Amino acid sequence: MLELNRRFYDKNQLIKTSVDVLNQFPKDLQGVVAKALCSLAVRDYDIEGRIQHLRSLGAEVVLPLYRSKNKLRTYDQVPEIHQSINYLRLLQEDERALIATKLLDVASLVEYYLGFAEEVPMPQKQVDVGEIRERYLSGGQQYARSFVVQRSQEILEQCLLQKANLDAGRIVSQKNL
């Protein structure tokens, strides 16, 4: 692949990995997770202030932002991912790497949670993933992890209770035969 055809985030493996991980989530959860990147960019790097000064960034940054409005990339179909990629483009390389690391932290917590949440309805998953994101943003990885552990235990308890109820129902059905 020619260097000219590569997207800006393909040039750094950490950033590329974070974008790839983001795109691997179910469509219904991609935007929820992508909001973490957007919130970090706003909170830690005043990205909105940088947007106000787009003229000073140069054509190599500004032109791709305008082209992105065509929404031809696969992730442009999810507005939060579209916004997060554009925010990444405006950051310096070291800032991108820091945010990518934090996004991978959030993603790993969400993936762990999703491993337990197969039986949970999708709206609840979105609420829980949003809570993971917000706890990470407000209190860091440990605070978010404690929620994931607590929620995973609750899900396991619900599954065990459902299984026990099913087993009890089968026993009663067999006795009635």
pLDDT, position 67: 58
pLDDT of residue 127: 94
Query: Residue 49 falls within a domain, yes or no?
Result: yes
Domain assignment present for residue 5? The answer is: no
Question: What is the per-residue pLDDT for 157?
Answer: 87
88 contacts 12 by C-beta, under 8 angstroms:
no
Residue 1 inside a domain? The answer is no
Q: What is the pTM of this model?
A: 0.79
The answer to the question of residue 3 being in a domain is no
Print the domain residue range for 58: 10-176
What is the Cα–Cα distance from 159 to 157, expressed in whole angstroms?
A: 5
Query: Is 105 contained in some domain?
Result: yes
Residue 28, domain member (yes or no): yes
pLDDT at 62: 57
40 assigned to some structural domain: yes
Whether 4 is covered by a domain: the verdict is: no
- How much is the pLDDT for 73? 63
Can you spell out the DSSP letters for 85-122? HHHHHHS-HHHHHHHHHHHHHHHHHHHHHHHH-TTS-H
The number of folded domains in the chain is: 1
First to last CA, the chain: 68
Q: Give the C-alpha separation, 176 to 173, whole Å.
A: 5
Q: Give per-residue pLDDT as tens, 107-144.
A: 999 999 998 888 777 788 999 999 999 999 999 999 99
Q: Which residues of the chain have pLDDT under 50?
A: 1-3
Give the per-residue pLDDT at 70: 59
